[in-house]
Homo-oligomer: A and B are copies of this chain.
Amino acid sequence: MNFSISKRVFYNALQIVAKSVSSNSPIPALSGIKIEVENDSILLVGSDADISIMKTLHADEEDIRLIVRETGGIVIESKYILEIIRKIDAEDVNIQIVDGSLTRISGGSSKFEINGLKVSEYPLIDFSKPSHQFQMDADSLLKIIAQTTFATSDKETRPVLTGVNFKCTGHQLECVATDSYRLARKTAELDNDSSFNITIPAKSLNEVAKIIEKDSKVLICVSDRKAQFWIENNLVQTRLIEGSYPETARLIPQTFEYELTIDSRDMLNAIDRASFIKNEGISIIKLSMKEDEVIISSRSQEVGSSTEKLSVLSYTGAPLEISFSGRYVFEAIRALSATTISIQFSGEMKPFIIRNQRDQSILQLVLPVRTYN
């Protein structure tokens, strides 16, 4: 293996695949990036066994200045190659195996010789394309990810809840995340017919979000074992979470007797102010609503209390008091990215719904909490 390439292009590519590399993998080779050089392309692979990223660099890309003198491959510790390429003070870098797996990386007046690993020591990853395929534009996929992943569970007690459920029937895609105290549901229309029901780890979706470039198209391929996201010349592949996802439709109330409409920013700021008063690390916030006055308050024996009169756009219904986790409602409202939100209640201890008034494809649900003061 012996090639030279634009430092900038190579560094950017390494940064992308490095996102899936875990520095404390039980498989030593997985702390490295696999570099495979063909006559007119370079293939980079990083993986933590759950998520794998593959990137292809082609000799005909703009500004790449790829010159392959000898094909071959090597695996180099991710943090070393990133740091070396970043710090080399030259337009182009040269990378060459000099002896067994000792790899010389040079540029400008600097020369590094780094112990690599043979490609044969890197785990085999099956990148074959599953047959269920659909396209989505980057912005729609980014929105799905931003509006759902935060509501997944971070506890491994019910693994299926650490992922987002993607269920497709006909043209209709429904994405649901819940940690059993709150739920986010986003629907989208697909161009073609499909039928699948898979659960993708939230962590993988967040990695996909980091790689997606705006205004591009993403090809998504799924089987019952894995999901692939093809973004330009990058492929992010993730394992799925096994186990059947709970039926959530019946959790969502259909009728409401109370409705609060408020400016989204005002509500976020008010929750933020009240949230610093915590009980054992959790901020419980109370809304006291009646037609002519809505009060937000919080209280802790140790710290003290806060109260604030909200400027609401409207409140309809009988007087109602309801308490909830400040963080859950804050995150739900933020995810709606709305100017005006409406919160619909059906009782003091019933789940309530937060909606973007201008976008019915997204729904946030939060369970209230019981308080004793």
Contacts and interface: CB of A to CB of B under 8 A. Distances in A.
Contacts of A305: 112-113
A272 B303 CA distance: 48
Interface of A: 77, 80, 83-84, 87-89, 102, 109-115, 269-270, 272-273, 276, 302-311
B276 A84 contact: yes
A353 to B, nearest CB: 26
A272 B87 contact: yes
16 contacts: A77-B303, A80-B276, A80-B303, A80-B304, A84-B276, A87-B273, A89-B269, A89-B273, A109-B310, A109-B311, A110-B270, A110-B273, A110-B306, A112-B305, A112-B306, A113-B306
B80 A112 contact: no
Nearest to A269: B89
Contacts of A84: 273, 276
Contacts of A102: 304
B303 A115 contact: yes
A5 to B, nearest CB: 19
A115 B303 CA distance: 6
Contacts of A273: 84, 87-89, 110
Contact of A87 (B88, B110, B276): B276
Contacts of A80: 276, 303-304
A89 B115 CA distance: 57
Contact of A302 (B87, B89, B115): B115
Contacts of A111: 306-308
A351 to B, nearest CB: 28
A97 to B, nearest CB: 13
A303 B87 contact: no
Contact of A304 (B88, B89, B113, B306): B113
A309 B112 contact: no
Contacts of A306: 110-113
Contacts of A308: 109-111
Given A80-B276, A112-B304, A115-B303, 17 more contacts: A77-B303, A80-B303, A83-B276, A84-B276, A87-B276, A89-B273, A102-B304, A110-B308, A111-B306, A111-B307, A111-B308, A112-B305, A113-B304, A113-B305, A113-B306, A114-B303, A115-B302
Looking at A80, A88, A113, the one whose CB has the most chain B CB atoms below 10 A away is: A113
A308 B307 CA distance: 64
A114 B307 contact: no
A45 B305 CA distance: 24
Contacts of A114: 303-304
A307 B104 CA distance: 11
Contacts of A304: 80, 102, 112-115
A250 to B, nearest CB: 39
Nearest to A302: B115
Nearest to A82: B276
